[in-house]
Structure 1
């Protein structure tokens, strides 16, 4: 085998992910993703992204999307023709776009970065590490993960002795409770805040449906709120208006000023993005320390 051939083989990497293994050759240059959390992670690592979802970027990321970036279809329905024509080196799917993997893998090297909602922090760290390996940015990945671990530890320390909580999601005038398998499960699982509702059945969009009477009866020390309407581009501030009522205002959380409204797009749209999770952790920390 020639030296050139040996070098080519040496540059190949096999990337293991939830839907199998993907072989890449060298460091990818032109990068596509149909997942905003992956865009978030790539941006945190300093990796330029050439193709992004056609949907509006979450507001906390919007300033970082290249004006000339290819729009490669929706979160659920990627534009495979556009992806094929782009002559890109790698394509990332996750969460809503994970089903695209079966088609995309025959077009170009495709990696699924989906993670479990039951272990979000662990999953974000694993994806940052994996992307660091793919792009030769191992030191930067470690720096990011060390900062994330330190932030989680800081929030966990601030939460000690602060009581229990309900994590609410509001959706078109309805209220649900998010639990240990939800989009913001790290509030319970990693930060260690006890749920005021012992057994939560997590619904994908609206959580475990509850009433204002239930919130007062449960009387949590804290309310952390995800405004789904604002997260999906509907009426901003709907959650605050909905929860400003006689029953909720009698709770310990309301009386103590312990209602924290989480960034709706980081919590509902990206969920697994590095800077989004850091933003949400900072919001919880600010609330706990208020």
Structure 2
């Protein structure tokens, strides 16, 4: 009798282990084995969300950049860069699932030579919706539904508070600096979600929402646009590049004439979070906190 019970239990456990779950990805629904034992996260935003759920990836890009991701470095194997995953190192890990997104999405076909891969890209124009959807999908895949619901509840609270903070505060312009160069991003663009979450309209003329690198602008453009708020991302600081800081680039006689500068409304956002880990849970919530703190002053 004991032998039959043990055999039956083993069969039950085996059938449970082989259960499938269907999740939403950037390329549509994907059906995968539930709770993969080894996942390679080739995107920092993906790694960020998995970490928030309590899931430790088995493999990651070799450089994690963000302070809050550093605890993962000691437990995950480095498998190349964000631009170029190393297939040999990836194969040595033997992942059950590989997750690509955003910068690494173009490598999906290549990494699928090693293991099944899914694309969990988030779109800047719908980043908040996409971030919640990816979080829910990972929660379902790894049996972390309760944790996922709690994280989304916290995110919703922050979004509600931020919407109130931005009400009737004027217009805004999102800028990315890259050393001495500057680009502006409008509503519906890669960083357009910043206008959405603050409830603040974009200052000035419409900008090209499809330009992934934004519209190249000058100090004269900023002065003519005269935003009430400037939300600034420093690409150089995010990636550790040499060159003038965002503060140095913007410290210009023309920019000093704007409403944003005169009123102390030039806000330097955590650029690494926004630029390198779009949609990552901690990156996103830290950025929302920075916006809320600036608008509350």
TM-score, scaled to structure 1:
0.92
Asked if the contact 2:207/2:215 (under 8 Å) is kept, the reply is: yes
What residue in structure 2 maps to residue 198 of structure 1? 205
Summarize the Cα distance change of 1:236–1:129 in structure 2 as closer, same or farther, 3 Å threshold. Answer: farther
Structure 1: runs of 5 or more not aligned: none
2:165–2:198 Cα contact (<8 Å) kept: no
- Following TM superposition, by how much is the alpha carbon of 1:196 offset from its aligned partner in structure 2, in angstroms? 0.3
CA distance in 2, matches of 1:68, 1:10: 26
Residues 287 and 235 of structure 1: CA distance in aligned 2, closer, same or farther (over 3 Å): farther
Q: Contact conserved, 1:169 with 1:176, CA < 8 A, in 2?
A: yes
Alignment counterpart, residue 126 of structure 1, candidates 125, 133, 150: 133
What's the TM-score once normalised by structure 2's chain length? Answer: 0.90
Deviations 1:34-81 (A, max 9, x none): 100000000111111121002x21333243223142111111221122
2:232 aligned with 1:263: no
How big is the alpha-carbon RMSD for the aligned residues of Structure 1 and Structure 2? 2.1
User: What are the residue-to-residue correspondences of 1:62-101 with 2, within 5 Å?
Assistant: 62-101=69-108
- 1:190 counterpart SS class: helix
How far, CA to CA, are the matches of 2:27 and 2:226 in structure 1?
A: 43
Task: Choose which of 47, 70, 78 in structure 1 pairs with 2:55.
Answer: 47
Give the stretch that moved more between structures: 35-44 or 69-78.
Answer: 69-78
Q: Distance in 2 between matches of 1:158 and 1:27?
A: 39
Pick aligned residue for 1:284 from 269, 291, 294 = 291
Q: Which runs of 5+ in 2 are unaligned?
A: 1-6
Contact 2:167 2:198 (8 Å CA) reproduced? no
Aligned residue number for residue 34 of structure 1: 42
Match of 1:248 in 2: 255
Q: CA deviation at 1:10?
A: 6.2
Asked if structure 2 preserves the Cα contact closer than 8 Å seen for 1:53 and 1:71, the reply is: yes
Taking the aligned partners of 1:233 and 1:35, their CA distance within structure 2 comes to 18
> For the Cα contact (< 8 Å) 1:8–1:25, is it kept in 2?
no
Is it true that 1:12 corresponds to 2:20 in the alignment?
yes
Counterpart residue number, 2:64: 57
Deviations 1:21-43 (A, max 9, x none): 54432411222111000000001
Verify the 8 A CA contact 1:22 1:109 in the aligned structure 2.
no
- From the CA coordinates, give the structure whose radius of gyration is larger: 2
SS in 1 for 2:135: helix
2:122 equivalent in structure 1: 115
1:273 aligns with 2:275: no
Deviation at 1:217, TM superposition (A): 1.6
After the TM superposition, which segments of 4 or more aligned residues of structure 1 sit over 4 Å from their partners?
none
- Taking the aligned partners of 2:163 and 2:28, their CA distance within structure 1 comes to 35
Question: 5 Å matches for 1:145-184?
Answer: 145-184=152-191
Equivalent residues of 2:48, 2:283 under 8 A apart: yes
Q: 1:239 aligns with which of 237, 246, 249?
A: 246
Cα contact 1:167–1:225 (8 A) shared by 2: yes
Structure-2 residue corresponding to 1:208: 215
CA distance in 2, matches of 1:10, 1:61: 33
